[in-house]
């Protein structure tokens, strides 16, 4: 059986390359020929009658399934139009890739989340309405979290502690035409969260992440992880968010509320599971591949 794993050909992040290699090697043990393909090695195009086609920059055997480890949503959708089964789907990737769209999609589903404000659409690269910004800041509390709408590995996330700092950060994002969300700072979860790894409709395992030096608990930001057993409430919240977004596999991040009640932080369609694997001692990649085999059969 042949499959593809597509990743971004212009993003030079060693962790992504390591993760792709790990999945390719896991596939060999399951007698799957998983071919790593850069998104820049295949060109999506349409014929004059509007039929979806691909132009190949290197010789590639056609796949029976595609693992899409990128956020090139248009390419993923194009492949689906050609009839390929793509894991995760273009729809799920789209909803996870933009944090504002993610929270909009999860809203009205009885999912506990931090209070969140979506950034307005700005055309002149400047939000000069100071009253607007102050109202946002005061609504969310004495300190807030500003997140660029598109970011990974805990990057592009900022802890803001006063109004002046907040206004400066928003103006900086506006000048760069960056979408963002503003959230209340869940102080009870400072430097700690839970990463829940899900495949299909079941939790494979969960990891408590803690940092002594940063408000972010991401392993890539210096956090440390250890395996934990989820409470029923934590598991149900993670599974619900995963299903609402229509994911095949995901990493769901949970925060700790004031009384340790779980709050949804975010959901990742392209999760970095290597840190979890090292602690777990088993192959999460094989679990993904075995799930895919079950789905396509």
According to the model, what pLDDT value does residue 177 have?
84
User: So what CATH class is 95-110+188-285?
Assistant: alpha beta
Is the Cα dihedral 7, 11, 15, 17 positive or negative? positive
- The region of weakest confidence among 82-91, 96-105, 214-223, 236-245 is 214-223
Higher pLDDT, 128 or 251: 251
Q: Kindly report, residue by residue over 198-232, the tens digit of the pLDDT.
A: 999 999 999 999 887 677 766 666 667 899 999 99
Q: What span, in angstroms and rounded, lies between the C-alpha atoms of 160 and 142?
A: 9
According to the model, what pLDDT value does residue 31 have?
96
Query: Given pLDDT bands bounded at 50, 70 and 90, which one contains residue 144?
Result: very high
Taking residues 46-58, report their average pLDDT.
Answer: 91
According to the model, what pLDDT value does residue 142 have?
84
Query: Given pLDDT bands bounded at 50, 70 and 90, which one contains residue 174?
Result: confident
Write out the DSSP string of 10-64. S---HHHHHHHHHHHHHHHHTT-EEEEEETTSEEEEE-TT--EEEEESS--PPPS
Q: What is the mean pLDDT of the chain?
A: 91
Strands (DSSP E) along the chain, which ranges?
2-7, 33-38, 42-46, 52-56, 65-69, 86-87, 116-118, 144-148, 157-160, 180-184, 192-199, 202-210, 224-228, 249-256, 262-268
Query: Does residue 125 have a pLDDT over 60?
Result: no
According to the model, what pLDDT value does residue 120 have?
77
| Three-state SS at 76 | helix
Question: What count of other Cβ atoms lies within 10 Å of the Cβ of residue 17?
Answer: 13
Domain boundaries, the chain: 2-87, 95-110+188-285, 116-185
- The region of weakest confidence among 4-8, 87-91, 202-206, 214-218 is 214-218
pTM recorded for the entire structure: 0.90
DSSP 259: T
Let me know the angle formed at the C-alpha of 180 by 174 and 183, rounded to the nearest 5 degrees: 125
Taking residues 27-50, report their average pLDDT.
Answer: 95
Query: Given pLDDT bands bounded at 50, 70 and 90, which one contains residue 42?
Result: very high
Q: Which CATH architecture has domain 116-185?
A: 2-Layer Sandwich (3.30)
Q: Which CATH architecture has domain 2-87?
A: 3-Layer(aba) Sandwich (3.40)
């Amino acid at each position: 059986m042949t499959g593809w794993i597509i990743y971004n050909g212009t993003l030079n992040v060693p962790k992504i390359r390591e993760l792709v290699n790990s999945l390719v090697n896991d596939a060999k043990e399951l007698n799957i020929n998983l071919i790593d393909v850069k998104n820049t090695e295949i060109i999506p195009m349409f014929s004059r009658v509007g039929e979806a086609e691909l132009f190949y920059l290197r010789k590639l055997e056609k796949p029976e399934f595609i693992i899409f480890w990128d956020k090139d949503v248009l390419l993923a959708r194009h492949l689906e139009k050609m009839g390929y089964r793509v894991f995760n789907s273009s729809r799920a990737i789209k909803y996870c890739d933009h944090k504002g769209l993610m929270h909009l999609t999860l809203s009205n589903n009885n999912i506990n989340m931090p209070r969140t404000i979506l950034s307005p659409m700005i055309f002149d690269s400047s939000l000069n309405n100071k009253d607007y910004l102050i109202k946002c800041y005061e609504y969310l509390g004495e300190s807030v979290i500003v997140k660029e709408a598109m970011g990974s590995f805990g990057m592009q996330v900022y802890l803001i502690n006063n109004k002046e700092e907040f206004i400066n950060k928003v103006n900086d994002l506006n000048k760069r035409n960056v979408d963002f969300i503003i959230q209340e700072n869940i102080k009870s979860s400072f430097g700690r969260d839970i990463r829940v790894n899900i495949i299909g409709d079941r939790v494979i395992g969960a990891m408590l992440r803690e940092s002594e030096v940063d408000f972010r608990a991401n392993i890539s930001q210096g956090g440390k992880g250890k395996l934990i057993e989820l409470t029923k409430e934590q598991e149900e919240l993670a599974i619900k968010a995963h299903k609402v977004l229509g994911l095949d596999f995901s990493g769901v991040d949970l925060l700790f509320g004031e009384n340790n009640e779980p709050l949804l932080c975010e959901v990742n369609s392209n999760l970095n599971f290597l840190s979890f694997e090292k602690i777990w001692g088993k192959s999460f990649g094989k679990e993904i591949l075995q799930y895919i085999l079950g789905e396509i059969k």
